[in-house]
Structure 1
């Protein structure tokens, strides 16, 4: 049944984020007149140009909406969704005319707010499929907007539109040349070949200063139809990758193996593994009095279970590029692990007996026959390693970060060194069983200890529930209750029952658990997802502020996005990026005792450092890409990008101290342009707010 739990929970996917706490009272009363009205039309393709879909939004005076390129962390951006059709397809992104008005908003930590007033037109090129008569074609869709006025905001609204064909297409000579205003100035790092999503016509008075680099004539080559220039300087982002890579490869392979061994050894002291380590100590007490060979054999099996999981983690890193602890970003894995740990906790509390000798249990079966066996020791070792992955520690982060970009054989070697380090205390006891004389003698206390550890495992389940998206928490709890009933049904069978009776009990309990899984995740999860979706739709669409404290011990964070990062570095600000995850206990410890302290907050404020928080809880592709650029596949990671030279970030991996962080901030130096709003400073005090 335990193996089946992993299979049943696999299809789950995280579909919903945090729901707002209080959607009521956040919005203005709905006006009687429509604030936003739409008109849409399209022109068919011609021999000279592609077709064009135009959507015109008329906005009531004093009201505004937000652009389709509104950066995250603030108001809700406008979304344009077309209903699927076999008659046409869109060739590119929608472009806005006129371009939105942009201004920094102190209430959103100086975030750039992009708004449209009065009227805005979105255009996108389209291609009508052959055989389709444009005169009969209707292009249908919906525009989701967040209307606001200077005093209040309305709930997000979805406005439907139907676009019909117009006879006269805009001639090519009449078409405005669309250029993204952000592209007017070429960045020193080189121009990125990205399509402009928000553009405006070029005026005759516009100027375009450019940095020109002279190339030697041999770098120019004829490609047959156009000249191409090669050579020159690489963009700064590529240079950043190279500099980080060079820094990582300065450490020798032997040193990395030693770091891995020490990091694995320290993992035994991490809070993630304490529930299972306590049970392993209990098994040492049970082993007292056994032969030296038996003790060594059991500890070898325990270590083998650990090493097998490390080999699997190495394979995930090599073939799927999954980082340390990243499994906890998958909802299905968290649900399955919560189910396994929950059933083990029930076993320790005597509800049922897991039919693996010496694995877990507190009843008569263990008293009669459950001296720890090879399979029980192996499973304990595997579970210990799985529970250890949310934690990181000294040496471990450096060793695992070194494996990024390394050949597979070196990656496997480093992961195995971590596994050997973690297993070394148990191997040592296996070789020298006399060390167990320091443990207490077996007695009645062992049964009480088992039951206490059962409650500890249930506490671990509560922790795992915090990693599951809100829409899946209720279905998961309902599923666990179903497993509780199934385990009770199996456990009620007397020890002396016939094999056929035990088999029937197992079959019926497994069928019941499967039925509960089908109902909870096949039906109840959808109900909860819809309920949370409705809650989100009635909320501010990202405008509310979730406070994390109003004292000197909290930093003010903006959510990480590549766009926000590029804007801050382009403004010559020193940027601190905290790569974290809800399932990373080490991350949360460092945030409480190192990041959110008066010393750190004071250093950040005095140097005008911008702070971004990169949440890796659900394996955000944008955060994953940035981590890989920094040569990491695990969290925690602190990256500080100096204003003077953002291509040489200062990186702190794994655990770090207050002194180390303050030293890194001092080395990075202050922002060149310190323009921080009241959101970052309140009477000289740091304000802790998270902008969602």
Structure 2
């Protein structure tokens, strides 16, 4: 056997001593995925940078952490050797991807999403370390396809620092990714935001004051929250001579309430290159940039919240009128009925006593209004975004209010007569004898009046919440005075009370009759609760009402067992207010088809309808599907399409592929598709007509059979 040549032996020895990295790219539908490392080896006790590399095909794109109007963010999960840990994905700033009225944020070219890998100091091994990860993404063009790959990367553990050199293959790609990662905003930047959700132009107003803003040629803001802005709306901006920037963009259709901070990425495209800054704005007074703005104002951060605040005295008049009109609101009427009963009962009282009752009621109203004003001002100062009636946004409060009105109704119906020992149910305070009852009737009137924004109140409240504390307090006081004014007038002008009927046996019947407005108010509150939670939340509240009824049925029964049972029932009803099912708040209906009659897709239901000779429109969709959302807004939401469906008695079946569904996956495969959307039209037993992936109203209507004569 001939000995190996010295040259080959030397080369083999050098190769064995060199650190190496081994990875294989995985090619899937329209995306190439791979794990890559910045260095050729790992070092114990050090942090190093890896990255998930995604390369979409031309014309396709994957998504950023906030996908925009639709889509799905890329994710990764790791399986690592002992002693190694991986951080979260780091996101280079995205680009806008537009299809029709839909705008998404993502990457249409190769992107490296860096990850910090930490190696413990005690890791020792002569063998290469195997790093494994499961990556998932959504890739879209005119259809959207969920993708995933099991990725691996082998890296040796370097014996010393010098052995872990830079991998030349990925040096430029890592440098590009780092340059596009958002950096913390400069320390001298001042960032404020204000949500303008009243009026025609509902928009986010964002103001930035600091160095470097004035040199920007172009700007783009990408929020982290997906439900804050209408991503397809044009971002308006003004820049003054001092380098103060003000941005405004229309709010999302799915906007619910203002966040504590507005976070996102501000990309500045300037002559010196692009820079991405991670910003976090806090609440403040920021003026909206008008759609036709062409000259910037001088001071964005200090601009008033309203274009031209109304005169102070006019606002007070509006507040007084708004409070007066509140007396006519349906949600206030039940409490006013209780007060009307108390006025009838005191009809024979002295004029001084009537005045005192009217003043006690007015004091309850005014002090409660002032207390609410103080709470709103404190919340505003702490950065919370609130509005009038904000307590009706909390399911627990709504359920508790339903308890209260239901208990009051049962009392008026004669189920129970509350005494001085009444615990927790506020009706006893409102119906108590003497001035205390009048005072707490005023308190209760304000509690239930707050959800009702009567005419004239909007301007007054908007003005009050944007002004100094003393101004806000006077406006709220005027509101309270308007609410209390009718009873105050009766107390001081006794002739107005002549319109009240004489006491008699009818009063007991009238009292029982007045329970029904309270029951209707309870129904309304349950309806509000259903909008905040779901039917599980409503079920919890109904169970609580049953426990309340049981406790009140036992209320006047003596003995140890009834006492234990009624306390247990009341305790259980109060405990239900803390149920997680009441804490759960659900979003409103999404998509253009949310308000249209449709059924969930199943093969059995489809076969049944075809056997009946019906026309069936099958819509395979997903919440993250960009094309689906375009089609819903452009075609399926069109009035002529809805009319055609109704006239031709089309049954609409929706196959929701938002979450993995093997049945829908098999159906898609049967039609040669690996993603949504897929639109099918069946007419009786005939084979399906497959519609294009991009719809127009005429395409949908033309695919339907003619309407029956």
Q: TM-score range by the shorter chain?
A: 0.5 to 0.7
Equivalent runs, 1:509-548 vs 2, <5 Å: 509-514=569-574, 516=576, 521=579, 540-543=622-625
SS of residue paired to 1:124: strand
Task: State the match for 1:435 in structure 2.
Answer: 496
Instruction: Report matched runs for 1:77-92 at 5 Å.
Output: 77-78=73-74
Structure 2 partner of 1:308: 367
SS in 2 for 1:288: coil
| 58, 64, 70: which one aligns with 1:68 | 64
Distance 1:79 1:526, change over 3 A: farther
Aligned with residue 536 of structure 2, among 474, 486, 490: 474
Larger radius of gyration: 2
- Write out per-residue CA displacement over residues 540-570 of structure 1, whole angstroms, 9 at most, x where no aligned residue: 2254667897559x9xxxxxxxxxxxxxxxx
Cα distance in 2 between the residues matched to 1:680 and 1:418: 50
Higher strand residue share: 2
> What pairs up with 1:598-637 in 2 under 5 angstroms?
none
| 1:29-60 CA-partner distances (Å, limit 9, x unpaired) | xxxx88878533444799xx98433112466x
Unaligned stretches of 5+ residues in structure 2: 1-27, 157-163, 183-214, 220-236, 247-261, 275-293, 381-385, 590-599, 601-619, 643-693, 700-709
Structure 1 position 189 matched with structure 2 position 184:
no
Match of 1:94 among 88, 91, 95: 91
The aligned counterpart of 1:588 is none
The structure with the greater share of residues assigned to helix is: 1
Q: For residues 295 and 197 of structure 1, do their structure 2 counterparts lie closer, same or farther at Cα, with a shift above 3 Å needed? A: closer
Q: Report the number of matched residues.
A: 471
Residue 98 of structure 2 is aligned with which of 83, 90, 103?
Answer: 103
2:335 corresponds to 1:276: yes
Shift of 1:184: 8.6
Structure 1 pair 336/360, CA: closer, same or farther in 2 (3 Å)?
closer
1:536-685 matched pairs, under 5 angstroms: 540-543=622-625
Measured in 2, the distance between the counterparts of 1:153 and 1:419 equals 58
Q: Write the deviation string for residues 62-120 of structure 1: whole angstroms up to 9, x where unpaired.
A: 99564116553333444568899997786994127xx6672332xxxx12245657x74
State whether structure 2 residue 554 is matched by structure 1 residue 492. Answer: yes
Distance 1:270 1:83 in 2: 61
1:385 and 2:459 matched: no
Task: Please tell me whether residue 319 in structure 1 is matched to residue 319 in structure 2.
Answer: no
Q: CA offset at residue 342 of structure 1?
A: 3.5
Residues in 2 aligned to 1:247 and 1:526: alpha-carbon distance in whole angstroms = 38
Measure how far apart 1:195 and its partner are.
11
Among candidates 403, 409, 417, match of residue 339 of structure 1 = 403
Distance 1:195 1:349 in 2: 53
SS at match of 2:238: coil
Provide the secondary structure at the position in 2 that maps to 1:40: strand
* Gap regions ≥5 residues in structure 1: 1-32, 211-233, 555-676, 683-692
Which of these residues, 512, 522, 526, is aligned with residue 458 of structure 1? Answer: 522
Q: CA contact under 8 A between 1:88 and 1:129: conserved in structure 2?
A: yes
CA RMSD across the alignment: 5.6
SS at match of 1:67: strand
Q: 1:264 to 1:143 in 2, by over 3 A?
A: farther
Kept in 1: contact 2:551–2:567 (CA 8 A): no
Whole-Å Cα distance in 2 between the matches of residues 90 and 384 of structure 1?
Answer: 54
SS in 2 for 1:320: helix
Is the 2:412–2:515 Cα contact (8 Å) retained in structure 1?
A: yes
TM-superposed CA distance for 1:425, in Å, is: 1.6
In structure 2, the CA distance between the partners of 1:237 and 1:122, relative to structure 1 (3 Å rule), is: farther
Q: Which whole-Å deviations, capped at 9, do the CAs of 1:281-311 have from their partners, x for residues lacking one?
A: 3433333333334433333333333223322
State whether residues 357 and 371 of structure 1, in contact with CA within 8 Å, keep that contact through their aligned partners in structure 2. no
Q: Structure 1 residues 236, 358: CA separation in 2 closer, same or farther (over 3 Å shift)?
A: farther
Cα 1:158–1:256 change in 2 (3 A) is farther
Normalised by the length of structure 2, the TM-score is: 0.52
Tell me, in whole angstroms, the C-alpha distance in 2 between the residues paired with 1:51 and 1:238: 47
Matching of residue 264 in structure 1 with residue 296 in structure 2 = no
* 8 Å contact kept, 1:36–1:58: yes
Q: Distance in 2 between matches of 1:510 and 1:358?
A: 12
The 3-state SS of whatever aligns with 1:386 is helix
Contact 1:42/1:164 (8 A) holds in 2: no
Task: Identify which of 137, 148, 151 aligns with 1:145.
Answer: 137
In structure 2, the residue matched to 1:606 is none
Alignment partner of 1:95: what SS?
A: coil
- Structure with more relative contact order (C-alpha pairs < 8 Å, separation 6 or more): 1
Superposed counterparts of 1:358-373, under 5 Å: 372-373=433-434
